[in-house]
Structure 1
């Protein structure tokens, strides 16, 4: 019997779906084992530390959550609940995990998208100045390196001191106003912009040495025209390839930033859930983050193929 001729698009989608399933399985396995390895009694996490619960309540909690079952059985039950999108009840909030994630996810996505857009603008500015600036390119290059190396918590403290304490321009904690988004987004964006700026600058410098740049200059193309019509595409291509990594980095950085600025979001919720060993909530949040990351990578691949014809493959 001849092998079925699977269309290239269907084959690509099947491979991506298989990759998504593999990533989610790996995340679920690692989180399950990591939480089981944390010292302490899981019953205390369910009933609350120092609850002085009766023996009947302890026995009921053990039976309800299958803590008396072998570890392999508990792992299998956890995988089945994840596959059915039934993530159960949160120990610490006493609410369905899906409802909690639905309440907190929009704030984190807003923060990450705002930081990603700001990082792109800053990275393009760094690259433009460092390539075309007559005397400012050394300063811009140094700013890129320093920005990429800045830890989020240190940068957040500096921004709070400058813009909240000294200048009193922006609130140091989250409020209902749009201004409260500026400092957290800037804290996330600066390190990412420094890294993306370095990548863009190197790609732009290579493009400056290419023959098409010489031809454009010979036709009388201005500096800004050269940048917008010829160099910009070459500068953004590597940054597009790294956009998935950048978004994942921003989502992980939100764990610290949301805690520092007392901002709602799944990052801050995840940090609290890990502290109290709220396994259903931890696994649910990480499953959502992993799914978002894979979807973003799919979008990045599509955008890269649209911008750069070289990455397209014939059918």
Structure 2
């Protein structure tokens, strides 16, 4: 029953997030200067006649009150009718099917690389003395505040232009993914490294770590079998936020490295007031974030089963344990 309520809460929260995103998109697009009817007809340079503009406004319901437009907009989204893109003259669902895999690949690969970098940094900083800890902390903080456009430009200059190891832009090969993935992974790795390192330091002082050392566990064995599992819990919770950061960072990274993902499409859609495409990209991104958040919560419960127990059960168990320690009939303040 506990899992059922967890799923219901997650589903209700996800629906609320999608509704909020849809509302923000609806308001934001209408605040952009310009006539959406002209955007549908090809922009101000299309030199459309007044009759054509009026016809388009009537066809797309732009002559209706705002609340009516909002209700129609939500109704279409609820039935997954995303419509056609004004800019690309193609169904939004088709565009998302073509471009979403690129962005998801970038985000997932970036998250995996970020975790690898964070674990290596946490191991080195906790096993190599104070100098290594201080250096790793400084590098982690520096990495976490690097803007994507600056980091991507530096990587292009160093590894593509100067060294020639990888291409400067995406060329459809595995080598073309190296720089984009590193660009999105490095800032996230900075946050994760600090979180995991702090968890490892706390776990080193715990009783289970002392017991493992007493049994003759090696440093690597202690780190991989005991400390990392404890230290990874905050990082797992942070991974959901990190995935959202990776998807948002894709807007810049895909433009820098010419990747055909939803980030580049979003830039085009916003500049051309392409509301169906903007709404589709925003809702798909929000849905992906909701799913990743649920998966992170589920993984955290699997790694640490204590998180799945309700607070009432924990409190009840604590009270029962206290009563058993006191013994029958012994008052709480008895000495």
**Which has the greater radius of gyration?**
2
C-alpha separation in 2, matches of 1:94 and 1:211: 63
The alpha-carbon deviation at position 220 of structure 1 amounts to 2.2
The alpha-carbon deviation at position 10 of structure 1 amounts to 2.7
**Which of 284, 288, 293 does residue 289 from structure 2 map onto?**
293
1:24 aligns with 2:23: no
Match runs of 1:222-241 below 5 Å: 222-241=218-237
1:205 aligns with 2:201: yes
1:15 aligns with 2:4: no
Match runs of 1:249-268 below 5 Å: 249-268=245-264
The alpha-carbon deviation at position 152 of structure 1 amounts to 0.7
C-alpha separation in 1, matches of 2:110 and 2:159: 18
The alpha-carbon deviation at position 12 of structure 1 amounts to 2.3
Match runs of 1:94-243 below 5 Å: 94-134=89-129, 135-243=131-239
The alpha-carbon deviation at position 206 of structure 1 amounts to 0.5
The alpha-carbon deviation at position 139 of structure 1 amounts to 1.6
The alpha-carbon deviation at position 57 of structure 1 amounts to 1.5
Asked if the contact 2:184–2:253 (Cα under 8 Å) also holds between the matched residues in 1, the reply is: yes
Q: Which runs of 5+ in 2 are unaligned?
A: 314-335
Query: Which shifted more, 293-302 or 131-140?
Result: 131-140
2:84 corresponding residue in structure 1 = 89
**Which of 27, 46, 71 does residue 51 from structure 1 map onto?**
46
Matched residue count: 309
C-alpha separation in 1, matches of 2:210 and 2:50: 82
2:318 corresponding residue in structure 1 = none
C-alpha separation in 1, matches of 2:48 and 2:268: 23
Asked if the contact 2:38–2:48 (Cα under 8 Å) also holds between the matched residues in 1, the reply is: no
CA offsets 1:176-198 (integer angstroms, 9 cap, x no match) = 11111110000000000000000
1:269 corresponding residue in structure 2 = 265
Flag as ranges the 4+ runs of structure 1 deviating above 6 A: none
1:284 corresponding residue in structure 2 = 280
The alpha-carbon deviation at position 161 of structure 1 amounts to 0.3
TM-score computed with the length of structure 1 as normaliser: 0.95
CA offsets 1:228-266 (integer angstroms, 9 cap, x no match) = 121010121111111111111100100000001111101
Instruction: Give the secondary structure class of the aligned counterpart of 1:75.
Output: helix
The alpha-carbon deviation at position 78 of structure 1 amounts to 0.4
The alpha-carbon deviation at position 296 of structure 1 amounts to 0.9
Q: Which runs of 5+ in 1 are unaligned?
A: 1-6
CA offsets 1:155-206 (integer angstroms, 9 cap, x no match) = 0011000011100111111111111111000000000000000000111100
Instruction: Give the secondary structure class of the aligned counterpart of 1:53.
Output: coil
C-alpha separation in 2, matches of 1:205 and 1:10: 36
1:37 corresponding residue in structure 2 = 31
The alpha-carbon deviation at position 312 of structure 1 amounts to 1.6
TM-score computed with the length of structure 2 as normaliser: 0.90
The alpha-carbon deviation at position 214 of structure 1 amounts to 1.9
Query: Which shifted more, 82-91 or 51-60?
Result: 51-60
The alpha-carbon deviation at position 219 of structure 1 amounts to 2.5
C-alpha separation in 1, matches of 2:301 and 2:103: 28
2:243 corresponding residue in structure 1 = 247
Instruction: Give the secondary structure class of the aligned counterpart of 1:242.
Output: helix
Query: Which shifted more, 128-137 or 262-271?
Result: 128-137
